[in-house]
Structure formats: structure tokens, C-alpha cells
Amino acid sequence: MVFRTRRLAVASVAALAATALVAGCATGSGGSSTSGAKGDTLTLWTHNAGNSAELDVVKKIIKDFNGSQSTYKVELQAFPQSDYNNSVVAAASARKLPCLLDVDGPNVPNWAWGGYLAPIDVSGSEVPLSAQLPSTVGRYQGKVYAFGFYDVSLAFFARKSVLKEYGIRIPTLDKPWTKAEFDSALAKLKKSGKFPYPLEMGTGSLGEWYPYAYSPQLQSFGGDLIDRDGYQTASGTLDGKDAVEWATWFRSLVAKGYLSKKSGADPNKDFLAGKSALQWDGSWNAAKNAAKLGDDLAIIPPVDFGHGPKIGGASWQWAMSSTCSNKAGAQAWLKFARQTKYFVDYAEATGTIPATDAAAQQVDGYQPGGKFSVFTRFAREYAVVRPVTPAYPYISTEFQKAVQDILAGADPEKALGQATKDIDTNLKTNRY
């Protein structure tokens, strides 16, 4: 009798094991990688699933690399961007990172500090690191962990004809708008009654866009996300007088009807359709705007709110994981990728700023004097990288929430105060 029971129990266990086995078979051939590489076959992760323009460049580099030598083979795994960071972090917590992966610039310190990235050595590649825009190299504590093929820049887009019509000066690099000028321009545009919201800043897109787009304005006011002297506190910086002044001004944009507290599904489309007069947007839309508006398109430098015009720096970059079992192979890929032609391919496919001058020479519009070359100058002269601290992902989520609250009508001082308090607690408990 007992045997019967045992047989049943054994059968149950066997059934479970069989399922595990069947499923295991199904994955055996898949890309399941225990240490980011199987021998000389390396896995590579990118955030570009569903974004074929950029993904095609990555595929091309991999194909060229695999064809250029016979030792290593790189295999691609693409993730959708909206969940990329979380997917990577979950995988990292289970020690399942691939050998090669791309990382959003501001997250480099966090991942390096957490021990997920290994420093890279790309000396001897075709393009030296020194040739790159500084914001496209991911450094932490004096070591290089990542590099990018491009950077992006922020700017205001407008129609020259519209600005002329309302007697608004078209600013130049040498003489950007001041806060007073900007405010009066917005007032004029609003008064015209032609634009429901004259200013478009993409308030509807949550996530990293918030700190990327708005913290440079905060910095131009004199505030910042954290006190960069030692990165130990946000107090006095994120909730200081200048920061509160920025937040109050930001809030007033909504109150005065200049800015929608939640922009539409496609802000750029709204701008091109004439629903807004000024769009604070990334350089990636410049080519599209130029194609539609031609010479009427004005690319306007960021406003100088008192401490100089600012934009954010650092976009997606390539890195190597510390758990990679084939670091030589990973380094080989990274070095191979550092060819000017790929810098060109990237910039052309994504409409971004090539990270080197040599590449810029070959990209339409980005040659010296080209219609988009101002972006390169913005990136060189105005770019401020987001705080180089492992706490950045946390700071970013707190800032996103504060801005969202301020847009929704929260008291600016209180919203920033709460974010500052949370960030300081985080800094203290985590002992970065």
C-alpha cells in the first residue's frame, strides 16, 4: 500500500522534473548565458528593441566584427527601452549580466559602484578616447567604464516667421535669451491667442526625460540635483533659494497657461502642427523639423537663467560587465567598434551628435558651419553631466516625482524639500 503512495509521489515529482526538462530543452539552444559568454561566444544587450534605426547599426557592427575575425562571436539580445534598466537590474541582482551591454550615461556610476561593470581599456583602437566629446565617455572614480558613439543636445525649436511676427529676437550662441526676454516672449506668444500653450517641453513623458530636460534649467538658475562637492547631500542645493526660485518659475509657466502640465501623445507633432510656438526638445528631432520647416526652422540655444545656458550631457554608452567570463573578447568588440565609420552610422541613423569631430565631418548638417553644427557647440559648451554618483538613479526618481508634483500644483518649496529629505536619507543609509 505504501508503495502505491510512494509511486504516486514519485510520479508527481517525476512529472515536475519532466516539465522542467522539457522546458530546459527548449532553452538549451536559446541565449541563456550563465556568465555573459559561452567560451568565445559573447552575449550583448541593447535597449533598442522596437527601434530599428539604432538597432540596425548595432547589428551591423556585430556582423562586421563577427566577420572580421574568427576567434569571437557576439550575439545580440535587444530589450524594449522603457523596461531596459529594470530588466538589467533584475538580471544583475541574479548575476546574469551579459558580457557587453549598453547603459544610459547617468547610470554608469551606479552600475560601476555596484560592481556590475568592469573598467574598460580601449587604447589602440582607431578612435582614441581623447577625440570624443567629454560627455560621451562614462567615467567613475578616475576609471573609464563606458563610451558612447553620440551625444544628444537640447534646444528650443521655433519658426523664425512666428518669432518675427511677434517681434521676438532670435537669439544666438553668443547672446542667448535671458530669463526676462524668455518670459516676455512667452507672454507675447500667449497673448496672440494663437497657441493654446505657446511652450512645449514634453511634460507628458515621464521617466528620465524629466531630469534630462529640466535639471539643466534648474542648474541655470543656480540650483542642482545634489551638492557636487563630495556628493554627500542635496540639502541647500536642491531645496536652496535658487532651486525654489526655479521651481516657482516652472510652476508659473503652468499657472500662466504658457505650458501644458501634461503634453499630448506626440509633442513634436504638435509643434510641427503649429499648436505650440517653442519646443524644448532633443536634437534627435532636428532633422525631421528641418525637413518640414526648411529655412523657417530656428534652433535656439538654451535660455541663460542667470548662471549660463545649460543642457544635459551623456546618452547611451557601451560597457562591459564585471562578471564577463571572456573579457578579452568583450574588449576586442569594444575596440573594433571604435571606428569613425560607426560613429558616422550611429549619428546618421539616430539623428544625434557624432561624438568625434572626424565623424562630424562626414555627417550631413554636422560639418563645421552645417545647420546642425550648433548642437555640437551646445554639447561642448553647455553640457553638464548628471551627478556622477551611484545615488543617481534614486535622485532621478525623486526629481521626477518632485517635478510632477510641482506641475500638478504642489508647493514648490515643499516638493523640493521632500525630495531633498528623501535623497539625503538615501545617501546616508547607503554609505556611497
Given 113, 166, 209, 249, the residue binding another protein (CB under 8 A)? 113
Using the contact rule CB under 8 A, the part of the chain among 66-74, 79-87, 163-171, 371-379 near another protein is: 79-87
Q: How far is the CB of 10 from another protein (least distance, A)?
A: 9
**Region from 109-117, 148-156, 175-183, 330-338 binding another protein, contact rule CB under 8 A:** 109-117
Residues 43, 93, 422, 110, CA torsion sign: negative
For residue 115, what is the DSSP state? T
Task: State the DSSP code for 309.
Answer: -
216 binds another protein (CB under 8 A): no
Instruction: Give whichever of 77 and 184 is closer to another protein, judged by the CB atom.
Output: 77
> Is residue 164 a contact point for another protein (CB under 8 A)?
no
Q: Which is nearer to another protein, 180 or 265 (CB)?
A: 265
Answer yes or no whether residue 80 interacts with another protein by CB under 8 A. Answer: yes
Helices and strands per DSSP (H, E), number in the chain: 16, 16
Q: Are 157 and 299 in contact (CB under 8 A)?
A: yes
DSSP run (H or E) holding 316: strand 316-321
CA dihedral 285, 288, 293, 294 (to 10 degrees): 110
Q: How many residues bind another protein (CB under 8 A)?
A: 79
Q: Considering only residues 326, 405, 416, 419, which one is a binding residue for another protein as defined by CB under 8 A?
A: 405
Q: Burial, 411: exposed, middle or buried (Cβ in 10 Å; 0-12, 13-18, 19+)?
A: middle
Closest CB to another protein among 322 and 356?
322
Which residues within the stretch 2-41 sit at the binding site for another protein (CB under 8 A)?
2, 4-6, 8-9, 12-13, 15-17, 19-21, 23-28, 30-34
Interacting residue with another protein among 71, 94, 142, 167 (CB under 8 A): 94
Min dist CB 133 to another protein, Å, is 21
Give the number of C-alpha atoms closer than 13 A to the C-alpha of residue 89, restricted to the C-beta side.
11
- Is residue 221 near another protein by the rule CB under 8 A? no
Answer yes or no whether residue 192 interacts with another protein by CB under 8 A: no
Among 225, 353, 410, 427, binds another protein (CB under 8 A): 410
Comparing CA positions, the residue from 262, 45, 313 lying closest to residue 153 is 313
Residue of 56, 63, 114, 341 that binds another protein (CB under 8 A)? 114
315 contributes a contact to another protein by CB under 8 A: no
Say how far apart CA 380 and CA 372 lie, in whole Å. Answer: 14
Q: Quick one: 48 or 356, whose CB is closer to another protein?
A: 48
86 binds another protein (CB under 8 A): yes
Q: Is 346 in the site for another protein (CB under 8 A)?
A: no
Question: Of 380, 353, 341, which Cα lies nearest the Cα of 126?
Answer: 341
Closest distance between another protein and the C-beta of residue 401, in Å? 8
Instruction: Verify binding: residue 142, another protein, rule CB under 8 A.
Output: no
Residues forming a β-bridge with 157: 279, 299
Task: Give dist(CA 320, CA 243) in Å, integer.
Answer: 37
Q: Are 321 and 118 in contact (CB under 8 A)?
A: yes
**Identity at 187, one-letter amino acid code:** A
Closer Cβ to another protein, 180 or 431, answer by number: 431
Residue type, 328: A
Listed in sequence order, the residues at least 6 apart from 93 whose beta carbon sits closer than 8 Å to its beta carbon are none
Neighbour count for residue 110 (Cβ, 10 Å):
24
The yes or no reply on residue 265 touching another protein (CB under 8 A) is yes
Assess 110 for contact with another protein (CB under 8 A): yes
Longest dimension (CA), the chain: 97
Q: Footprint of another protein on residues 379-398 (CB under 8 A)?
A: 390, 393-394, 397
The site string for another protein over 282-301 (x = CB under 8 A, - otherwise) reads: --x-----------------
